[in-house]
Structure 1
Amino acid sequence: MSTRTRTEPSDTKQAGVARRSAPDGIPEIADPLSVSTVDARTLSASLFKRLATLEEGTAEYSYVRNTLVELNLSLVKFAARRFRSRSEPTEDIIQVGTIGLIKAINRFDAERGTEFTSFALPTIVGEIKRFLRDTSWAVQVPRRLQELRIDLARARDQMEQHLGRCPTAAELAAHLGITDAEVAEGEQAANGYIARSLDAPVDEDDALSALTRGLGNEDPAFDVVEAVASLKPVIASLGERDRLILSLRFGEELTQSEIGARLGLSQMHVSRLLAAIYARLRAALLDEASS
């Protein structure tokens, strides 16, 4: 079996597990942290089969589970690298990620034929994200708003998987049983989640560096504001139904099917109506530009 030289003796401590001699009938793995990634997957598959036959709380069960944690600690480090730009110490993130790894081991069912790596990584990343949501507030905000932000983030993740798109504010409000104003308040509170000094060095790998690179550039949103101002008289001249369709499409961000359900129209009919409205608005903008 291939191995690599162990260079991080503190990993066992970070994982929060203790090494002990292998019980009878279970092969001894002297140093799980030094096992290569390929061998770790092979050993993990065998250990998961053995774990399923053991009674939880026994010495054998604890040994196998702790060995699985150490064999797969590289998954935690891999997930932690996604958050290396955060202000929290890497050691804390790894510690929290290890909790996610343990949860994944406890929940994993080898009989389903799923690769453990594919099963564990979302659990590890989710545990780290929850930790960061609870602790990474750059500006102090009321606890109520912190919890509201977490609820909104979780609901958005769940609904996005179910709907196949990002939910609207109205859909989030209905899902959580709160008002649209409370949704807006929670999203505004998220602005206090992370702050960064404008004097900080620019890191090309950091998405926040786009802020410093864009300072002094013309904001393209000015064109949008000007276009909206030009369209106000045209929108006011539209019929009541056309104005309602625009409000539902761009105000509440409903899909064509949802608008049709709201108004008792087919999705195709809504599509034709929107196309006609867009054409009228586009012609008005072109006339404004030429004049």
Structure 2
Amino acid sequence: MTVTDMTVTEVTTEQTVMLPEIADPSRVAPKDARTLSRLFFDRLAVLEEGTPEYQYARNTLIEMNLTLVRFAAARFRSRGKDEMEDVVQVGTIGLIKAIDRFELTREVEFTSFAIPYIVGEIKRFFRDTTWAVHVPRRLQEARVALAKATEELRGRLGRTPTVKELAQLMVLTEDEVNEARLASNGYNSSSLDATISSGTDGEAALADFIGTDDQALELVEDFNALAPLIAELDDRERRIIHMRFIDELTQAQIGEHLGVSQMHVSRLLNRTLTKLRAGMLTTD
């Protein structure tokens, strides 16, 4: 006889040693699941882990209490359908953890014990996967606290609170509040190819409105190409280049250091620059 052919009372009184075989544990009504769970937990406590009987009891407990997962997941029903499937799977992990740690001696209902595990696992899932940019956990938590403090002070003051006011309420330094604000920027991200309205000009890519060309980046390639060419110069040529472009000395001052005329320095400098320019063009 299966549990579907008996009442819960009959199961708990007649099956004192052997656990009842439940045809489809997932279809057991929540009220019956509560009573049956106590029976299965009682047997699970004395069964040897790894035995078929132990696995049957544990798996049945999981299936019977999946309604708890669906109940907890309903709080996050605003998520998309695909994501809700992930939520239920993650919530099931929380349920399994609760089953493995529950003891009847706690004298609390399993439902009350399991829900925090399930919800905690789901929240951890969102915390670890929904941030576009990874930030430390303390800053993720600070972001939530900052949002709550901001709303509380806005309602109390009738205006947007200052950093100092937020810091006082949150018992943080102003630098820590600013750090939490900055971390909030990592929660969402947008593609640079995303189209946005540009007024009368229609739509344009987000990349057109942020950032500018860094002219200095071109110098990086030039420096990389120039370095080996300078290394090939003789000592006097390198010294002249250094004094002219690093020390920013005039040709007359360079001449004084080298003991030559300004005209001679000019000829040496032009010859050296011509050599470097030719080398750069060859490299390109």
TM-score after normalising by structure 2 = 0.48
Greater relative contact order structure (CA < 8 Å, 6+ sep): 1
Indicate the structure (1 or 2) with the bigger Cα radius of gyration.
2
